[in-house]
Structure formats: structure tokens, C-alpha cells
Chain A
């Protein structure tokens, strides 16, 4: 490094080459620019000419100077100059302590932060100062001073933590270090994000280090974070946070499923100084339920990832109501309360005007995972069996009490035995007051919900006390009466709310707790017996724990869990920490997601108070090589121009100028002429140029033509063309139709509407047409065109034993995208067999294949006697495998091109006749069918 100048060289040894510059100066002064050497026979004549003015033998000094500059620049550029502006100011001596924020908030710009740290270490190395490195995410117990090389290694190993680190942990080693080395200076590479403990940390840091601290912050955008994904009825929303306005205001949130496939994208944007906004995925609920990971696109940080588990899955809940008033008073009915309460997290289907048993069967058939029976008393035995089976298979049945349930006899579909009748509190016949809710037991899934003060239950059904009652109780009243009980049945779960789902028995249905209780309950749907965190853990008071399976690293990538990650308790509901890093816990089929940020977390800009603040330098070092080499190029160009000028280049250009001028003149003339031509052309409609499409249209329409689809296989196309030529010739000889030369068409490019029939040979190698081409083909077929597909492999598929030949497979692939009517082999009475010749079958080169057409409506009594049938219109599709074109194909001299399998002259003749019939059929439609009836019609007319 050059003292005074923040300039460094990659290979400073090369700079010694600058010493050679004086020698170069001398050489350059000596050597005039080299003349062009031209062998010129009459040179001896030139010897006699008295010399004219000469260029100076020595190079002018300024040209030499220019070239010296050029050489010096090349040497400098080769030495690899790097411009290094001075990093953050600090003390000139003493150890340097780098305090690195290594939480998830640093991850997105980790490289810049590491580069900044590296620069500080480099500078310490230059100044021969020891370095200490303290990362806030993983603070060592005692930070020691390192040599810069060691510090660089330590830095290389540092990774951002996926959770929010406790910054205060770094204070102990720091204060210890500062006590040992009073002259040390501290540089805090901060991420600028306050996750709650920021102000406290800054205050304590100030106490420890005081004026020794320089904070590097800003200059690079701060992190975004995601929190609180919510799968609402309309879509999945997730909150996007930022610490301050330096983070980009717009971005995209992406949703992935478990395998990492992208399911959707949602934009977000912060307005003004907002620190929190929302992104919303409008996806169908089935897709939303597959979302396992939501992340901010292009931000690699654990904070920008939210993992979703089954708790965010929206369930479809079927509600069956036993009441009849529901339809009369819809806004007071239990269904209404339930629908509203479930709405935020589940999709609700109500049984509309159906008997409960029917509705239950209906919902089971729909495979709903959760069903709510609200005050359904007796269930028909068949439905009940089904319902029991459904629960055993994993269904979640939630029942609500009510008058009918209370009145029902022998209802086995309840978790606890019920006492008949129920009890009424606070009524005129009771001296007890309506009861409040008691605390939720630890084992209950409701544990953790706040117990509402204002919920009172005035009437409920009572459970018969027995030994299991306590285990099965999820919620009880203040006096201990069970309010919600549950039991497992097979793989499923049966839950009973001992109150009605409307407000007649309690005001629970209109409290927020009701929603949460339902949410917790429905979250259990579809879980199997073993994994379900369930309240029967009386024997295991230490709540059952879930081991980590895949965890996020600081960059938001899923990795196998490390040794320090500990299992989470089953009811873990906080943000991640060092012990419980974010990620998926539990087995893959029933995992539990822990996220970096929980719903309650907030981001705020870090307030540094009185501490000196410096921004990160984005481009901390500038490689000057590119600039220098560009300068070298410019100088070379200048030198070249000067030499060109010195050696009389300008005058040499002069004699060329005439030619150039002529060229320009020609060009201008040509342009002008072209314009003139265009102008003269526009008013005169004499001969407008035909576009290719117009030309094609004219050729196709001036004469009736047969057409074939160009497959791209030249051999097949040649046979198609010569085949249609042969058929055209046959038609001209035998019928009134004299078609023009056949045309090849490309369905993707050409207009098809001009042709009555398209012959389409299928090759196994054919490329499936593009969707646009298929749309055109479909339109062509719909608008009356006929396509004759020929797989040309009747012979090949003969011994195949029913297998699908490659060409047929290709044909199926093509047809799979088209709207194809039902097909049948040409029946004996089809008009195709009579449209010109009387035919029994339709041979081509092969005779074994069948010709398939659109199926006709079955013969009716009226038509049975008729000799020919035809539907309305013409079959849009004909499929054969007999290789028609091969049989029709002729040489230019009229000789058949390809051999025929057997019966040479006869089968070829019949192939031509088949072709004739097909062409006549597509041209005349069912007219020929009517012709067949002509005798009958005439007879009917009485002639």
C-alpha cells in the first residue's frame, strides 16, 4: 500500500518495469514511425527524383510523451491497481475488536458485511494490530485477540444465525476484552435492526466502551422479515416487516410446498414510512393447504421465511344441524354462529335442507375431514355406522349439545356418558348462578388460551362422573363441570361441546374464545393417534416433546439439525431461539413448524444514541485495471490516428473519397428511388405486391385442391404429394372433379379453410403441433373441414397383438388436445361406402386396417330400410392405417411409386376408389345419401 494514497497493487513487483521508461523514451525518440513498404518495380526511376519535403526523422516529443504515458499505463494496469478508500475512522493504534451482528437480519447482506469485516482485518494487518472478533449470534465465552490471519479464518467460518440472537450475550466477552486492553477500539458491524432489546444493549455498550465504539450501519438495505401467516377464507396472508425505510419498499413473497415447488407469488409494498405490510396469496384452498414455506423472493435470510405446518391448513368443515329453526331464523341459528366462528380458518359447508342422516352420508362421501353436528339427536343407523367408520378412519367429529341431543336415547357417539336432561343454571328453578369458564387443563389443546371473564354458561348437558372423565375433559366450568370433552376413536377424534352452538345455552358462541377453541380443535383433524399432541398425558407430566427434523440455517435454507438444537415441547408457540432454531420438528408426515419470528415480534430501527455511525461502503475497493486499460485503449487510438495523420493518411483518403462519394450517391439514389417507387405505387392499384399468405390463398382457392399436411419428413411428404397427385389424376379421369395440383400445408402457418380435406400422414417422429396450431385444426374441423389421418402402419401393427404402434401413439397424443367426436369403423351402410363407387372396405397399400369415422346415430326404425345412412354434415375426422397415399402415389410418368401388399392391380384400383369415395363424401356430404333414396323419393312422388 502506498503511504498517503489509498492505492494498492496486486503485484507491485511489476512496477519496477517503470524503470525501463527512460530507455523507452530514448528508443521512441530514435525510431521514426515505420513507413509502409511497397515493392515497386520502377523504384530506380524514383532514385533520380530530387527528394521532396520529408517528415522529420525523429518522432515529435509530444508523440513520444503520449507513448510513454501509454506504456506507463500498461505497466500500472498490469500491476493490478486497487483503489481502497479508508474504512471507518478509528483509533490509530491498539487492538481492534470487531463486533459482528450475526443474526438472521444480517444474512441477506452477509457478503457485504463479511467484506467490510475483512477490510477492517486487512487494515489491521497493514497496521500490525491484533484483532478480536465477536459475533453476536454465537459469542464465545472469552473473546481473545487474534492475529489477522486467524481472525480472517474465524470470519470465514462465521455464519448468520437463523434466530434472533440475544445481543447482550456479547457484552460479557467484550467488557472483559476491553478491561484487558484499554487501548482497543471497537467496530460494531450492525444490522440496524432492533428486535426489542436494542435500546438496552446500546445503553450498556455505551457504558462499557464509550467513545471507543464506531458503529457501521446503513449503506446496505436492512432486512425484511415475515411473520404471522394466516390462512383466511379468501387467501393466505402473511405480514412483511422491515426495520426502517432503507429496506426496499416493494418485493415479492413466494409460496412453496414441502418439496420446494413454487405454488404462488404475491407482491408486497410498503407505503411511505410503514414498517409493516401484508402480502396475500389468492389461491384455491387446496393449493393453499399445500403451502409449507413462504419466503421473500431474493432475500436469503431465515427471517424472510415462514414455515407453515398443519395448523395453517384450512380445513373444510361440514356442519349438520339438527334444528329446523335454522331456516326460519338464519341469523340466530347455530349454523350461522358456527359458520362465522369457523370462517377465519376453515371452509364451511352446510347441509342445505337435508335430513341430518343424508347430510352426514353426503359429507362423508365428500371426504370431509371435520364434521360438526350441532344439536343432532338420533342418527339413522346406516348413517351412524358410516359415521363411526369415518371417525375410526381419522375423521374429527365435533358435536354440540342442544335440546335434541339432551333428549336423545342411547347416543353412543359422545365421548363421555351423558346424564339425561341436562342442567339449567340461573333459571328460576335454580339457585346457582350461570357459571364462568375455568382454567384450561395443561393437557388440553386449549391450554394457553386466555380464559375469558365474560363467558357464562347457563345451561349444558352433564356427563356421568367416572374415572376417565377428567382425562377426557378439555375445558370445564369454574365449578369443574366438564364443558368440552373428547375421546379418541380409532384414528379419529370425537369432541363434544356440552353447550349449544347458539346463544340459548351460553354466550360462548359469541366470544372470541369460541373461535380459538374451534381453531385448536380443528387443527387436530387428520392427525393420527400417536403423534397427536393430546391431553391424555397425565402419566407424562413433562409435556411430550418433538425432535427437530429439518432446520433453517441463517440464510433460510433447510439443513439437517445440528447437535445444539433441542426438541420443542408439544405446545411450543414462540419464536425460535438458540435452543430451538426455526425449522420443522417432528416426523415428516406430521411436522411442527417453528419460525424465526412469531406473530408478536416487531422490528424497529436501532437507535444508536451518541455513538459514531458510519455507513457500509458498498464498493469498498475499486479495481482500477479496467479504467486503466480503457485509458490505454484510448491512447492507442489517439496514437494510431496521429500516426495515420503523420504518414499522410488524410491525403491517401482523398483519392478514395471519390469512390466513397459515389457509393453514398448511389445509396441515396437507391433510397430516393425506392421511396419514389413506393410513392408512385400507392396511388396506382395496378399491381400490388402479393404477400405470401395472399399468394397461398389465391393458389388454394382458384382451383379445388387436395391438401396434405407437411410433416417435415421429406420422404413422407413426397409420397403424400405424389399420392394426392395420383388421386387427383384418378378423380379427373373418373369423376366430374378436376382438382388442381395438391398443396402441402403447415397447420401452424397456413390457412386451412380453403381445403375440403387434409391428408395427414402420422410419423412416430412427428412433433406435436403447438397449441395455436391445434386450435386452428380444431376450428378447421369444427367449421366443416375433414382431416384424414393415416398412421400408415396397418402392416406393421398386424403382428403386434393389439399393442399400440408408435404412429398410433403419436396420433393419440395429437388428438388428445382436440375435441374429437366418438368414432366407429365405417359401417356397411355408411354413405362413404356409396358416395361414388360401391365399396365394402377401404384399402390402401395395406388392406388390414379399418377406416374410422365419426359415429353415426344408431339406425332408427325409419332409416333401417334405407340403404345408406349419413349424419348431418361430414365426419370431421377419418382415421386409417392403410397408407392411402402410398397406394395412390404415382411417378410423374404415371407409374405407381410403391408396391402394394397383395392383389396388385385390384387393390390399387380399390384404393383409388376408396380415395374417390372419401373426396366425394367430403365434397358432397349427405347429398349422396339422399341420392341413394332417389328411386324411393321418385316413387313417393308418384311418377
Chain B
């Protein structure tokens, strides 16, 4: 079906239906996310290293020259050596993941493998799981505070299910810390100006970010013909097209233009812009995101290490 699952005029009804559907689909999405995350996890190494943090990491021998306050006397009393209790490094690094849950994501054409919303959620969960395993904190702007809980997928799913109010296409204006990272998963079919201004707001705090546009194949190829009335699912109106096949070229050109503008804005803030089609496997985008995040994080870690060395030296 080339349309939303339900075209109803009553927004409450629509929201209720989509919420019910979401609840029904959530366990499947969670499983799918775990599967995707597991397949990506192999070969990637987390932040398992000693550093500033809350949790015990290991005891190591005391090196002379270190502050005496670091000695763990309880452990050192057991034998003749002095030990230092190391804690696991917990980087104060937060990643905000924003899966777009607006009605426009509720779309799946015959060419698409999956509803866009499902794909966005799967990616969000999988990414969250990956990042938490990698020692990061993950949050959803507006509805979930950053957490490093192992059961992050469940937390995210609960937060999304308990979200009050109708979901918006773009994240609510929030201030991300300068070392935070933002990952936007959505279709970004809002007018380019809205998108760029939202990006500008988010990037204003100095956060890094990634914009992944999840689109249905039909939205790229426009496989329509004949007399068609196109409805905007978020209530922005409709347009009746006499012979849809005549519109294809113009549409494709406009899409490219739209994307160029978003990509340009993203690049201006040093953010990445990726396009993901729902007829491709979800892991493809996940790997790409993971790789890009790795780059940015390495840069951040380098920054942090650089900033800590003088501290340690002092």
C-alpha cells in the first residue's frame, strides 16, 4: 500500500492507532535492534580502560611518584606491596539519539522493506545498545535523560511509549553540551529552512552530530502515475496531481535540492549527513554511524586526554 496505514481525519484516533501499533511492534523492534546491534558489535572495542569513573576497574601496583592518597590501604594491607585501586573510565560523554516518530514516518511503500518509523526505532535502539556497551551515555532529547544503563533499549522503548503529546518531526529545542553528540534519525521532509534552523540551534552549543535521513524508496523514485491526490500525513494539506508521471523529474530534482541544503547546513557545523533507504538493511546505516561516531569520539578522547595530561602532571 502506497499510503499510511490509516488515513483518518481524527488526529486523536490516528495517534491512538499509531500508539497501539507501536506498542504491538515494540518487542519485535527491540529484538531486531538487539540482533542488529549484536551483529555490529563484533570487532568493535569498547572503552574498557581505567580512568575516572565510579566503578571498580582493577588494582594495580603503586608507582612511586604517585600521590599517596591513591593507595588503597585495605588491599595493600594484605601483602607487602602497595596497590592503587583503579576505577573504570567513565567518559562524561553523552549521545543524544533522536528517532523521528512523527506521522510522516508512518509510511511504507511497496518497494520499502519496512515502515520508516520501524527502521528509525530499530536503528535508535541498536545504536543506543551499541553505545552503552561501548561505555557511553545515551539519551533522547525531551523524553529520556542520558543513561548508561545496560538495559538501555528497554529504557528507550519505555520512554517512547510513555511519551506524552504527539511526536514532532524535529527534536525539541534542547541544549547539548559541547562534548555531546547528537544523532538524528528522521525523514526531514519539513521545509529545508525549518530543518536548517533546527540544526543550527542544536549545533550552537558546539555539539557534534549526525543527520541520517531515512527514506522510503518510493519517496526517492516517485513511482506514481495517473490522477493522484497526495496527502501530507502531518496535516500540511494535499495536492491533486493530474498526471503524476509528469511530475517525477521535477520531484527528483527538488529532492536533491532539499538534501543539498540540509547537507550544506550540516557540513557547516561539522555534522555528517547520511541517506538511508528502507529497502537497505538497517545494519548498513548502523555501521556507517558507528564508524563516523568512532572518528568523532576519537577526536574527543584525544581532546580529553590532552586536557588531562597537564592535570596529571600538576
Contact = CB atoms under 8 A, between A and B. Distances in A.
Contacts of B189: 41-42, 44-45
Interface string A29-48: 00001011111111111111
A663 interface: no
Contact of A35 (B190, B228, B251, B254): B228
Given A39-B231, A45-B189, A651 B104 contact: no
B2 interface: yes
A46 B225 contact: no
A652 B227 CA distance: 10
Contact of A41 (B104, B223, B245, B254): B104
Contacts of B232: 39-41, 43-44
B255 interface: yes
A38 B228 contact: yes
A52 B245 CA distance: 10
Contact of A36 (B104, B228, B237, B258): B228
Interface in A642-658: 646-649, 651-652, 654-655
B230 A40 contact: yes
A54 interface: yes
B236 A44 contact: yes
Nearest to B220: A42
B65 interface: no
B246 A53 contact: yes
B264 interface: no
Interface string A624-664: 00000000000000000000001111011011000000000
A83 B255 CA distance: 64
A42 B239 contact: no
Given A37-B7, A40-B231, A45-B255, A52 B190 contact: no
B291 interface: no
A648 B229 contact: no
A43 B245 contact: no
A55 B250 contact: no
B254 A55 contact: no
B92 interface: no
B230 A38 contact: yes
Interface in B208-238: 216, 218-219, 223-233, 236-238
Interface residues of B, number: 43
A296 B246 CA distance: 75
Contacts of A38: 2-3, 224, 228-231
A36 B229 contact: yes
A49 interface: yes
Contacts of B243: 52-55, 648, 651
Interface in B87-107: 104-105, 107
B51 interface: no
Contact of A655 (B223, B237, B250, B258): B223
Specify which of A42, A44, A652 lies most central, judged by the most chain B CB atoms within 10 Å of its CB: A42
Contact of B227 (A41, A45, A50, A55): A55
A330 to B, nearest CB: 100
Contacts of A654: 225
A649 B7 CA distance: 23
A46 B251 contact: yes
Contacts of A45: 189, 251, 254-255, 258
B242 A43 contact: no
A37 B241 CA distance: 10
A647 B231 CA distance: 18
Most chain A CB inside 10 Å of its own CB: which residue of B244, B247, B250: B244
Interface string B130-158: 00000000000000000000000000000
Nearest to A42: B189
A49 B223 contact: no
Contact of A46 (B105, B116, B190, B239): B239
Contacts of A646: 227
Nearest to A40: B230
Given A41-B107, A43-B230, A55-B242, A652 B225 contact: yes
5 contacts: A36-B226, A38-B224, A40-B219, A46-B251, A652-B225
Given A44-B191, A49-B250, 20 more contacts: A35-B241, A36-B227, A39-B3, A39-B7, A39-B107, A40-B2, A40-B230, A40-B231, A41-B116, A41-B189, A41-B216, A41-B233, A43-B237, A44-B236, A45-B251, A55-B242, A648-B225, A648-B226, A651-B245, A655-B223
